[in-house]
């Protein structure tokens, strides 16, 4: 008797999406109300949600409908909930529509840039080779 391969097809509701998804690799920090934060890889991103994959082993116990906040590059914090779970991968449905193309753009440092995407400056380190710094 041979083992049955793990089912990897997306859930039925995933096939009914109307917005396109962008596939690329990006990291995100996920904050939960009643558990420690997690870091995950964004596998695909659309205006209404994203699929992420946890790098941690063993897989943490998550629940469909669990609320969270995702931090996305150039977008900031986005509230949402877990829509589906398949092992280390799960889908997040956002509470509001985002621009997925903004997350693909390089980080721009400016007055309105959130602190969590700004570079960390270390004492006694030369910054003359860092792009975008004026006066060097």
- Strand pairing class (67-72; 89-94): unpaired
Where do the structural domains in the chain lie, given as residue ranges? 12-108
Q: How many angstroms separate the CA atoms of 110 and 65, rounded?
A: 36
For residue 70, the cross-strand partners are 30, 78
Q: What digits encode the pLDDT tens for the residues 62-103?
A: 999 999 999 998 899 999 999 999 989 999 999 999 999 988
Region of 104 please: left (phi>0), alpha (psi -120 to 50) or beta.
alpha
Is 8 strand, coil or helix?
A: coil
The CATH homologous superfamily to which domain 12-108 belongs is predicted glycosyltransferase like domains (2.40.10.220)
Q: What digits encode the pLDDT tens for the residues 18-51?
A: 555 555 568 899 999 888 999 999 999 999 999 9
């Amino acid at each position: 008797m041979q083992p049955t391969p793990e089912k990897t097809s997306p859930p039925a509701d995933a096939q009914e999406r109307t917005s396109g998804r962008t596939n690329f690799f990006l990291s995100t920090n996920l904050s939960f109300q009643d558990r420690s934060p997690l870091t995950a890889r964004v596998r695909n991103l659309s205006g209404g949600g994203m699929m992420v994959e946890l790098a941690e082993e063993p897989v943490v116990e998550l629940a469909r409908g669990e609320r969270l906040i995702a931090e996305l590059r150039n977008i900031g914090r986005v509230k949402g909930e877990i829509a589906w779970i398949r092992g280390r991968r799960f889908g997040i449905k956002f509470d509001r529509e985002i621009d997925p193309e903004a997350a693909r753009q390089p980080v721009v440092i400016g007055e309105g840039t959130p602190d969590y995407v700004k570079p960390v400056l270390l004492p006694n380190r030369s910054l003359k080779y860092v792009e975008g710094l004026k006066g060097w």
